[in-house]
Each structure stands twice: as C-alpha cells, then as structure tokens.
Structure 1
Amino acid sequence: EYALRRYKILREMALKLHELRSAVEEAVKALLDFDLFFAVGRFAKDYFLNVPTLSEEYVGIGFINGRNLFLRELELKNKTKVIPVNYVVGDIPIQPPNTNKERIVVLSGANSGGKTTLLNLIAQIVILAQMGLPVPAEEVYMCPFDEIYLFSRSRGIMDAGAFEATLKNFAKVITSPKKKLVLVDELEAITEPGAAAKVIAGILELLYTNKNTCAIFISHLAEEVMKVVKVPIRVDGIEASGLDENLNLIVNRNPIYNYLARSTPELIVERLYHLSKGSEREVYEKLLEEFGGRKSK
C-alpha cells in the first residue's frame, strides 16, 4: 500500500512537471544564449575587440591598433604593457605611405623586437574574423581566406629530414589555387644561410604568381633575399635603437614600411652582459668585443 501511494504521488508530480517541459527547455536555451553572448561581450570589452570589415573584393589584411591576445592577457595581470600596432599587406582600403598594395612581404628587424608577436596577432585576427567573432584591433579590413598557413619557428633541434619535409609542405601551399594567407617565421633555420636566402626568394616568387595569395615572411636574411628575388616584394622593418635604464630594448613595435631593419643582436648580448656575473659575464664581454664593445651602464 505504501509503495502504491508513493508511485501515485510521483506520477502526479511527473505529469505536472511534464506540462512545464517546454517552458523549461526555452528557459535553458535562453540562458545558454545569454551566457554565450555575455562571454563574447566580456571578451570583447576586456581585450579591446571590434567587428572587422570583410569583403571578397579585398585581397589582404590591414588593421589599426591591434593588440596580441596573449600580451593583453599578461597586461590584465599587470605583467606587461601592450603597445598597439598597425600593419597592412595586400589590396585593402588602408594604404599607408610607402606601401603599394604589395601582397608579398618580408619582415626584418630586431631580435626580440616583436616580429613573431605581430605574426601571431595577424593569425589571431584572421581566425577570429572568419569564426564570426570580433577581433583584437580598432579597425580591420580583410578578405575571407580559403586557406591560412602558419609556419612557426622551430624551438628545438631539427631532424635530418626537416629541410625536405618543409619543401614538401611549401609545394602543397604554392600549388593550391585558393585564396590564402601564408605566415612564415624564420624559414632560414632549415638550412645554411646562403642556400636559405635562395630558397626563400624562390618560394616568394612562386607565391607571387597567385594573385589571390598574401604572404608575410619573417627573416634575418631580408637583405640577401632582396638581392636574388626576381619579383616586386616589400621589405618592412622593426628597428631597435638601444637599451633603456632597465636594460629593455628601445624599439618601435610598429613596422616601418619599405625599410630594411638590422637584427641588432649586439643589444641582446649587451643586455645579457649587464644582467650576468662572474664567468658568464666574461663570455658576454668577449662577444661584445666582437661587435665593437659597448658596456657603459
């Protein structure tokens, strides 16, 4: 008798709850939608995101006051200060002085000057835009790309087949007829400098033949590449001018268009010299002497 009574009570409750099922499902969906839009809104507010302008008529990407998301995250934790940057590649409405709608660009300049950070920022903007999300820049003009390639710099020792494997990967990229963005960080690491400059120049020439391709190559061999490349490309530079009182690089993070910048490795050596002691300092002192020596601090 107790079990029967319990069953009837539970059945009545279930029937009443069933009547509310549609209302509950709608409420849950509304809450999930709110949670999504609220999260995107908070993300946009905290990371200075804005809606980009996309058009099939463009071939390239350009932005004003972009902020790398990873650096902005550190800034929110008071660990760094983000300097907004501007950059343009390709045929888009933004065309700063010393640019002429170049689709193929080599980015030169200072060690630790922000070249890789800029490359990653471009990738962040393009990926977020094509996901339908706001992007980390005040203004962005870009085309939708069918393919996006990011060749990151090697962090370790490459195996014996790295050069061959890299060339095979680039062959697939080059032969694809689709609209694409190619981002490459220090390809010269795969072989010796003289051959690397020729390889980079050849790849740039082949990418140039596809009118729907945009490419940005970070390289310390920009000068050598320019001597052998046979198509019109642009070389931009991020320049370092010295060290401040805290031994940080004094550098303009915004690339200078149509400008070949030096790598300035001597500034990094000088910084390490001042931050080290004992026998390690002697090592950096010897290296500094090879650059002409500059140790006053």
Structure 2
Amino acid sequence: MNAHPDTPPASLPLFLHDSVADAVALSAVDSLAPLLGIAVKEAEKVVLKANECAAGFTVREILCTNETREILRELVKLLASYAVTKTGMATCMTRTPTLDPDALRKRFDDVREGMRLHELLDGEQIAAVQELFAKAEIAPIRFDTTPVIATRRRGLESKLQERYGDYVRVAVVDSAATAQALLREAYPVLLVADADEIVLDEPGIISIPEHAVADDSIVYPEFVVQSFRAKSAAIAAFVQLVTEFDERKTSSLLDKISIPDLEAVLALLAELARDESAHKVNLADTVLSWEEAINQEARFIAQTGGGADDFKAYLDEAVISMADELQLAGEDRDLLLESAYENLERGPPFEFSRAHTIRLQEHYARRIAEQRYFRLRDYATRLIPYEEAVNTALKRLFYLDFLFAVARFSHEFGLTIPEISSDGLGVIKGRNLFLVDEELKGGETVVPISYSVGSTDLGIFGATPLPVAILTGANSGGKTCLLITLATSMILTELGLPVPAERAEIPLLPLYLYRRKMIKKTGSFEYSMRALSRIFMREGPKVVLIDELEALTEPGAMGRIMAALLNHLPASTRAVMITHLIHELRPHIDLKKIRVDGIESEGLDATGNFIVDRQPLFNHIGSSTPELVITKLMSRVRKAKLRAVYREILQALEKERDAWP
C-alpha cells in the first residue's frame, strides 16, 4: 500500500477506489481486506496509516519509543473489548494520537456527547442498543458472475482493464463466429458497440455504448447491488436505533440523517429479493415435473376410454401452459413445441425430446441471465443516489459504538476528560490503568496518587513547579507505577480519550518513555545510550519519562551520565526520572530546574513487610532499599552486637539522606 489514503495502489482497479475509501473511513477492515486482497491485520495497518494522514501526525512522531507504542497497543486493545461490532473494535484499534488542540477538543466533545447519550439510556435500553449493534455488521461482498465484455476495437481493452482489472473478462470479437464462441463459454456478454453498428442478435448478447464502460451500474450492476446488500443489516440497525429511542433526538451524533432515504434502500433491497425469488425457475426441473403430470393425465385418458386426439388436445394445452409458466416466446416457444411433439408417435411414456430441450436450456439460460442483468442494472441505478446517505449513517452508527465503548470503559475505570496544559504535566488521584484492570478482576485495590512536574493549576501542595523531577524511594514503592500512570494519561489524552485520574493537566508534546524492562532486556549500555540520544536529535519540547538506568554501568559513571542527560534536556521539556543514585547525581545536577521527590516507608507491618506510602513527598529523598532492608533485619535480631552494627549502618544512611540541601 502507498502511504497516503488518497493514492490507492496502482494495481487497484479504478471502480474499487470509492469502495476502498468508504471501508477505510468506516474502519471496516473485514470489508477492506478482500477488496485489497490482503489479510485483515494488513487492512488494519492501511486504516491506521489513513488515520495518521488525517490527523497530520504519525504515531511514531508522538509516541517516540517502543515502550510508548507498546502501551498504546495495550490501551486500545483494552478499549476495543468494550465495543460490540467488529468495525467498532477496529475503530478502537486504529485510533491514532494527535497534537492538534482543535482536533482534540472535537474528539473530547464527541466523547462527552457519547457519555451524555449513554447516561440517558437505562439498563434495558442499553442492552437493546447493544443487541442492535450486534446485528450491524457489514457482510462480505459476494458475486455470482463475472461480467464478460466484448469489444470490436482493441484500443478499448486497456481502458476496461484499468477500470475493472481482473474483476471483468474482456474479449475482442471481430466476427459473428467469435461472438458465438464467446457466448458458449459465458453469458450475458456486454458488447460495446455504437448505435449504428450491426450487432449479433442472439439471446445473451447485450449491446452497450462505449461511453457507458465507466458506469459501474451498467458494466457491473451486481457489484453495486451487492455493495448495498452487504450493508443492509447495518442500515436496518441504524434505522431501528434512530426510530425507537427518543434520546437520539437530542444528540448531534444522530441528527441530519435522512431516515426516509435509508428506508428506501431497505425497501428496494426487499423488492429485489422478491423479484429474484419470483424468477427462480429451474428449466430441467420444470420439464421433468410437466413430463410427470402429462404422463399421469395420459394414464387417466387411457383408463377412461380416451384416445390419441384427446391426449393431443391435452398436450396442446399443457405445452401452452408450460410456455407461459416459463415465459417463453418466439424461437424458445417453438423449441418447446418441437420438443413436445417430436416423440409423440413413439407412444407412452411421454417424454420431451432431449435434443430440443438441451437447445432450449441453452437459450433459456441466456434469457434468464439477460433478465437478471437488466433487473440488477435497474436496481443499481435506483440505489446509487442513496450511497452518500448510507455511508453517512454507517459512519455514525459505528462511531456511536466506539463512543459507547468509551463511555462504558470510562465508567468502569473511573476516567475523566483531562485539561490541555501548556506548561506542565500532572494528575490528581491518578491511577495506573492496568492495575485498575487487575482490581476490577478481583486484584488489590489501587492507591491513587497526585503528582505533577512543571507548572500546573492542580494545586498539589509542595509540588514546586520545576520542569524536571527525580523520583527516589525503595523498590516496590510505586515509582514505576507512577511513571506508567503519567505515560498512560498522556497517551489517552493525545488519543482524545479520558484519563485515569480525578483531574489531570496534560501537555500536547511528544512522549519518550524508557522502561526498566527495556534496559534489562537489551542489557547493552551502547544500545540504551543510542535510544536515549533520540531525545536530543529532535528539536522542540517533549515529555521524557525514564525508569532506572543504573544497571547499565558502574554507579559513579552512571550518576554523571544521568546528570548530563537531565541538565541538557531541550527547553520546555518536562521530565521525570526514577533513580537510586541520587547521591551520585547530586554533585552534577542543576537544582534550579530539577526537583527531587521521594516515596517513604512507614515502617513494617506485623509480618515484617514494608508499609509504603505510595504518595510521593515533594522536595524530599525517599527511603532507600538498603535502609528498609536493614530496618527489617534489625527488627528480627536479638544479639546486641549485630543490632549495633545495623544501627550504625542506618545512621550512616540517614545522615547521607539528611545531608540533601
């Protein structure tokens, strides 16, 4: 696929361009995949690329590390589990971030409207809406026949190939004989000819003018009709949704759509289905049925003393009735008569001439194919004017499924719409979304925290508005959890979705997250330094969140490296770094722009486990893991000498911490 959605692949026939564009706009990856001849996962990538183009940003431009993009995938997968339709799920999975404040305001307005509409519905109504969504899938487009186009001019072949590709068969006919040969292989045959040209007058050959080859309703009416049929269940679901729920009358998500137009489409499709059912006649079965009826009547005539004249009179009436039933005329009617009377002299049982019925079957099949073509062409012409109304309605329908998924997701996880900030990043009572997910499944209760870096209006006591913060404290104290909370809040905001906090201020900046598991996984100092260098290779402010780096090299050198990173961050960048090397960092950092925060232990519980206050203290070094371990060991030791050793170690550690300016 090409990068831009407005430039489809060169191999894609022109007549499919609109259908592909519609499928992309709907995020209907199950419909898009067969149109492009690719797997559904690849179709998802096509929609993702189109969404990036529409947003004006690529995912990589905003979420600048593998870790941020990994969180994005986890978030949209979690959100998608709340959608009902496959298309609604794909809408979640292909959601892309943006740094455009106007675009985000529009997204948040839609989310608010979706929440408002969802709240207006009671439990029974919500269940009914979800049931409607469940019926609203777009079916695959199915075709019974491949159009066969015949032309007398070779120059027209390339034009037809460009527009229809392999979806049609194109043949050059230069004589009646080649036309007949083609007709024996497939029918109907659309013969491109001018009005004054002499065309072959045979059942199954339909003449169309050259200017009509770009009209899909003439060349490929089945595709047009089947495109509408594939959407019929979704159209019906939308009509029912809008007509049955009064709440929709107050919603901008469902207004300005012509329900009569959608009902007209459904009526036309139902009418076509009835027409097709009425014209479903199997000639061979009909012949056998009439043979049986005629032989039954022949036996009755013989049993009641009738003769050959009586049978012939009945046969005349039967053949006329049969011709009327099959709607035969002209040559086909004559073939039926010849077939009926050819074997008459042979005597019972009566049997139509098989040689004549084979010819009749061939002619009849062509006539039926002709009738089917004109029937589909008529309905295609009548359906096309409603194309825009249908596409608009389906976009609204699947977008509503997406917004209702956001509403349910938001309600279950306690999310709120953030405020867009220009100077700082912060959350009030923020929670790690993935831990909340575990809590909802029966896990431990998540402890909310309030934290900010840079200047915000959140009013968090003690959070000095410096652009960079170093977070200290013991292992398992919640430092990484805080980092993930900030990262998910940023990613959700830039997706235009609510965040896991009571209140949040989020800047629209590129995000760089470096997680400890990445560092452990690579185990390479050089690799990690190259990854961190991306922060400085791109101009402009950003948000940088760094988990512990100290395992990469010896502490003294790592302290100087980390200090250099923090001291040279681009202007207006907001950063939070987790470290245990605060004392190695201290001589080298600029305290005018760097705040040091800490997570404190509150002691040991009855079983000897650490009690940690997960809310960071600002401008304070947190308890170190060695302090907590020594405290725990000392509580279990009775020997005075060993306790004295532990006490001296603790005093040294506390003195070092208290020496922080």
Measured against the shorter chain, the TM-score band is 0.7 to 0.9
Aligned equivalent of 2:531? 169
Distance 1:167 1:190 in 2: 10
Deviation sequence 1:122-163 (CA, Å, 0-9, x none): 110011111111111111112210x2111111464654xx22
Amino acid at match of 1:107: L
- 1:48 paired residue number: 414
Counterpart of 2:601 in structure 1 is 240
**CA distance in 1: counterparts of 2:629 and 2:437, whole angstroms:** 25
Aligned-partner SS, 1:78: coil
Counterpart for residue 401 of structure 2: 35
Whichever residue aligns with residue 417 of structure 2, its letter is: V
SS across alignment from 2:568: helix
**C-alpha separation between the residues in 1 aligned to 2:538 and 2:396?**
43
Assess if the C-alpha contact under 8 Å between 1:205 and 1:231 holds in 2. no
- Could you give the per-residue CA deviations for residues 101-128 of structure 1, whole angstroms, max 9, x where no partner exists? 1111100002111100110111100111
Instruction: Choose between structure 1 and 2: higher strand proportion.
Output: 1
What amino acid is the match of 1:239? E
- Structure 2 match to 1:278: none
Distance (Å, rounded) in 1 between the aligned partners of 2:598 and 2:377: 70
Cα contact 1:111–1:265 (8 A) shared by 2:
no
Q: Give the SS at the match of 2:575.
A: strand
Residue pair 1:240, 1:264 contacting (<8 A) in 2 also:
no
Partner AA of 1:226 in structure 2: R
Pairwise CA distance, 1:74: 0.3
Decide whether aligned partners of structure 1 residues 241 and 18 sit closer, same or farther in structure 2, where only a CA change above 3 A counts. farther
**Matched residue SS, 2:454:** strand
Alignment of 1:197-236 (within 5 A): 197-207=559-569, 210-232=570-592, 233-236=594-597
Q: Distance in 2 between matches of 1:239 and 1:225?
A: 20
Q: Which moved more, 1:213-222 or 1:256-265?
A: 256-265
Offset of residue 201 of structure 1? 1.3
Whether the aligned pair in 1 keeps the contact of 2:540 and 2:571 (CA below 8 Å) is no
2:522·2:528 contact (CA, 8 Å) conserved in 1? no
- 1:99 correspondence with 2:439: no
CA drift of 1:24 comes to 4.6
Are positions 1:256 and 2:617 aligned together? Answer: yes
Distance in 2, Cα, partners of 1:71 & 1:95: 26
Q: Report the structure, 1 or 2, having the larger helix content.
A: 2
User: In 2, distance between residues paired with 1:180 and 1:37?
Assistant: 29
Instruction: Tell me the secondary structure at the aligned position of residue 120 of structure 1.
Output: helix
Aligned-residue CA RMSD (Å): 3.1
| 1:277 aligned residue | none
1:217–1:14 CA distance, 2 compared to 1 (3 A): same
Which deviates further from its counterpart, 20-29 or 149-158? 20-29
Taking structure 1 as reference, are residues 290 and 77 closer, same or farther at Cα in structure 2, changes over 3 Å only?
farther
In structure 2, the gaps of 5 or more residues are 1-280, 284-364, 634-642, 648-661
Paired with 2:381 and 2:449, the residues of 1 have a C-alpha distance of 56
Structure 1 runs not aligned, ≥5 long: 273-287, 293-297
Secondary structure, aligned partner of 1:44: helix
Shift of 1:227: 3.1
| Paired residues of 2:470 and 2:579 also in contact (CA < 8 A) | yes
- Cα deviations by residue, 1:189-219 (Å, 9 ceiling, x for unpaired): 1111111111111211112xx3311111000
Identity of aligned residues (%): 38
Higher RCO structure (Cα 8 Å, ≥6 apart): 1
8 Å Cα contact 1:92-1:142 kept in structure 2: no
Give the corresponding residue for 1:79: 443
User: 1:37 aligns to what SS in structure 2?
Assistant: helix
Taking the aligned partners of 2:382 and 2:414, their CA distance within structure 1 comes to: 45
Check whether the contact 2:489–2:506 (CA below 8 A) recurs between aligned residues.
no
Shift in CA distance, 211/34, structure 1 to aligned 2, threshold 3 Å: same
Q: Is the 8 A contact 1:266 1:291 kept in 2?
A: no
2:651 alignment partner in structure 1? none
Q: Does 1:150 align with 2:516?
A: no
Q: 1:13, CA displacement in angstroms?
A: 6.9
Secondary structure at 2:516's aligned position in 1? coil
Change (3 A) 1:244 1:10: farther
Is residue 2:454 matched to residue 1:90? Answer: yes
**Superposed, which structure 2 residues align to 1:264-283 within 5 Å?**
264-265=625-626
